Amino acid sequence: MTENSLHVPVLLERSVELLAPALERDGAVVVDATLGLGGHSEALLERFPSVHLVGIDRDTDALGLSTARLAPFSDRIDLVHAVYDELPAVLETLGLREVDGILFDLGVSSLQLDTVDRGFAYSKDAPLDMRMDATTGPTAREVLATYTESELRRIFYDYGDEKLAPRFASRIVQRREVQPIETSADLVDIISAATPAAAARAGHPAKRVFQALRIEVNSELSVLERAIPAALDSLRVGGRIVVLSYQSLEDRIVKRVLQSRSRSTAPAGLPVELPEHKPEFSLLVRGAELASDEERIDNPRSTPVRLRAAERLRSVT
């Protein structure tokens, strides 16, 4: 199993196209804040011969594979084990004050989904881990074993939009009093048994619960809420950001931040817009772009993607 066989980058050509105007100057720096298996990074390094790439990932397995993949560009890359909300600290350590481009490809990676023993997939029996960084933090098994019924209900509601959250949380607490919930199959059995037949026909009953657990284990939304503003602050004037989101909770955060930084802050009725009130950023796409029908067929994981992008217009002093 190689990094290339595991991963087909989503919206690769469109991401490169949107970043291109910011990366054509000599010495440009681009950050792949979710390096993964390095597919997007490889394309950027190939197409912009003078660009320097900073790759960030919390997954040590992914870093190992991407390091091998990007070895031909070793003199133009810095790959860092970190979570993407740590971007300012990473740049400071590398002596970088600002960068030209930033890419986020959010959500769970192909490596994490396809490596059975990581426990991300409800369709494959494995220990309930779900940590993107397997070196730290509580596992999904520990969450299921220690959270109260009300806490479980909250994360299923908030992060999975699961209407059966009270039923599922109750059944999980009942089961763990009898025996520990150790594997994905254990959890799927509980969820399936608790799901009415009519609801089961609408899709796999465990999908939303697994999503909610993954988000909770990795603090994905709180990390993203810190990461997007920090990334915008790290862009030079003329710099660009591209964000690929795969579920509505992520996209809502990205949309809110990009829109707020792309509006004038001038008070209503002010006859002249002062420079300090002008928008900091300009949105580069209308709404959120989707993958084409052709890409969805060729790469089914592109089906839920939502792309948003912006360019920095002015600095804030």
| Annotated binding-site residue numbers for S-adenosyl-L-methionine | 38-40, 57, 84, 105, 112
Please give the structure tokens belonging to residue 119. Answer: 């426990």
Q: What does the angle CA 2 – CA 302 – CA 103 come to, to the nearest 5 degrees? A: 75
Gap between the Cα atoms of 253 and 248, Å rounded = 9
In the chain, alpha helices (H) = 3-6, 12-23, 39-47, 60-69, 87-93, 110-114, 140-146, 149-160, 165-178, 184-194, 197-200, 207-218, 220-234, 248-261, 293-298
Gap between the Cα atoms of 157 and 165, Å rounded = 6
> Is the CB of residue 34 less than 8 Å from the CB of residue 56?
yes
Q: CA separation (Å) from 284 to 10, 258, 307, 309?
A: 18, 10, 10, 5
Gap between the Cα atoms of 294 and 237, Å rounded = 35
Q: Would you call 13 helix, strand, or coil by DSSP?
A: helix
Quickly count: other Cβ atoms within 10 Å of residue 133's Cβ. Answer: 16
Gap between the Cα atoms of 207 and 107, Å rounded = 14
Gap between the Cα atoms of 34 and 50, Å rounded = 21
Of the chain, the end-to-end C-alpha distance in Å amounts to: 49
Binding residues: 38-40, 57, 84, 105, 112
